[in-house]
Amino acid sequence: MHQITVSIKNLKDLRGILSNDEVLTHSERSQSILAMVYTAYIDKSLLESISQIILGFSAKVTLVGATTTGEIDNGKTITRSTTITLLFLEATSVVPITIKSELGDEEEMAMSLRHQVLKISPKAVMLLTTPLSSDVSVLIQNFTKESFAFEVFGGGAGDYAHECTLLLSGTEVFTSGVVAICFIGSSFQLKKHTFVGWSPMSKEMTATRAQGNTLFTIDDKPAFDIYTKYLNIKDDSEFFANAIGFPLLTKTKGDYLAKVPVSVGSDGSLAFISSVREGETFRLGFFNPEIIKSNLQDIKSSLNAFTPEAIFLFTCGCRRFALADDIQLETQYLADIAPVSGFYTIGEFCDIQGEVPQMNLAFIAVGMKESITFKPHKALPERKKKISSDKFLTSHMTVVGRLLYFINVLNEELEQQAITDGLTHLYNRRHFDAIFSATIRIAKRHNKLLCFLMMDVDYFKQYNDYYGHQAGDKALIKVAHCLKKNAQRADDYCFRLGGEEFGVLYKAENKDHALSFANMLRKSIENMHIEHEKSEISSFITVSIGLACKETNTISNESDYYKEADDLLYQAKKSGRNRVKIN
Name the residues that contact ligand GTP, by CB under 6 A. Answer: 423, 456-462, 464, 469, 472-473, 476, 499-500, 573, 577
The distance of closest approach from Cβ of residue 460 to ligand GTP in the complex, given in angstroms and rounded to an integer, is 3
Distances (CA, A) of 458 to 454, 476, 535: 13, 12, 7
State which residue, 118 or 423, has the beta carbon closest to ligand GTP: 423
Cβ-contact 458, 542 below 8 angstroms: yes
Q: Please give the order of strands across the beta sheet that includes 151-156.
A: 93-100, 177-184, 124-129, 151-156, 348-350, 358-359
Distance CA 66, CA 127 (A): 11
State which residue, 95 or 471, has the beta carbon closest to ligand GTP: 471
Q: For residue 382, what is the DSSP state?
A: P
The distance of closest approach from Cβ of residue 458 to ligand GTP in the complex, given in angstroms and rounded to an integer, is 4
Quote the Cα angle for 465-468-473, to 5°.
115
Cβ-contact 60, 328 below 8 angstroms: no
The distance of closest approach from Cβ of residue 351 to ligand GTP in the complex, given in angstroms and rounded to an integer, is 55
The distance of closest approach from Cβ of residue 240 to ligand GTP in the complex, given in angstroms and rounded to an integer, is 51
Distance CA 316, CA 323 (A): 11
State which residue, 87 or 454, has the beta carbon closest to ligand GTP: 454
The distance of closest approach from Cβ of residue 502 to ligand GTP in the complex, given in angstroms and rounded to an integer, is 11
The distance of closest approach from Cβ of residue 473 to ligand GTP in the complex, given in angstroms and rounded to an integer, is 5
Return the number of other C-beta atoms located less than 10 Å from residue 33's C-beta: 22
State which residue, 375 or 469, has the beta carbon closest to ligand GTP: 469
The distance of closest approach from Cβ of residue 203 to ligand GTP in the complex, given in angstroms and rounded to an integer, is 28
Helix, strand, or coil here: 74? coil
Half-sphere exposure of 369 (CA within 13 A, CB side): 15
Quote the Cα angle for 186-192-197, to 5°.
180
Q: For residue 458, what is the DSSP state?
A: T
Return the number of other C-beta atoms located less than 10 Å from residue 554's C-beta: 8
State which residue, 152 or 572, has the beta carbon closest to ligand GTP: 572
State which residue, 456 or 564, has the beta carbon closest to ligand GTP: 456
Q: Judging by beta carbons within 10 Å of its beta carbon (0-12, 13-18, 19+), is residue 538 exposed, middle or buried?
A: middle
- The amino acid sitting at 540 is F
Evaluated on CA atoms 106, 257, 152, 73, the torsion sign reads positive
The distance of closest approach from Cβ of residue 576 to ligand GTP in the complex, given in angstroms and rounded to an integer, is 11
The distance of closest approach from Cβ of residue 583 to ligand GTP in the complex, given in angstroms and rounded to an integer, is 20
CB nearest ligand GTP: which residue?
472
State which residue, 88 or 502, has the beta carbon closest to ligand GTP: 502
State which residue, 448 or 523, has the beta carbon closest to ligand GTP: 523
State which residue, 473 or 560, has the beta carbon closest to ligand GTP: 473
The distance of closest approach from Cβ of residue 577 to ligand GTP in the complex, given in angstroms and rounded to an integer, is 6
Distance CA 350, CA 357 (A): 7
The distance of closest approach from Cβ of residue 543 to ligand GTP in the complex, given in angstroms and rounded to an integer, is 9
State which residue, 294 or 462, has the beta carbon closest to ligand GTP: 462
State which residue, 198 or 460, has the beta carbon closest to ligand GTP: 460
The distance of closest approach from Cβ of residue 523 to ligand GTP in the complex, given in angstroms and rounded to an integer, is 17
Cβ-contact 218, 281 below 8 angstroms: no
Distance CA 169, CA 25 (A): 25
State which residue, 177 or 546, has the beta carbon closest to ligand GTP: 546
State which residue, 392 or 463, has the beta carbon closest to ligand GTP: 463
Quote the Cα angle for 384-390-396, to 5°.
170
Helix, strand, or coil here: 313? strand
State which residue, 469 or 563, has the beta carbon closest to ligand GTP: 469
DSSP secondary structure of 183-234? EE-TT-EEEEEEE--EEE-S--EEEEEEETTEEEEETTEETTHHHHHHH---
The distance of closest approach from Cβ of residue 466 to ligand GTP in the complex, given in angstroms and rounded to an integer, is 11
The distance of closest approach from Cβ of residue 497 to ligand GTP in the complex, given in angstroms and rounded to an integer, is 11
Return the number of other C-beta atoms located less than 10 Å from residue 395's C-beta: 7
Q: Crossing angle for the helix pair 469-486 and 460-467, nearest 10 degrees? A: 130
Ramachandran quadrant class, 29 (left: phi over 0; alpha: psi -120 to 50; beta: rest): alpha
Q: Crossing angle for the helix pair 289-306 and 395-419, nearest 10 degrees? A: 110
CA quadruple 560, 563, 569, 575: dihedral, nearest 10: -80
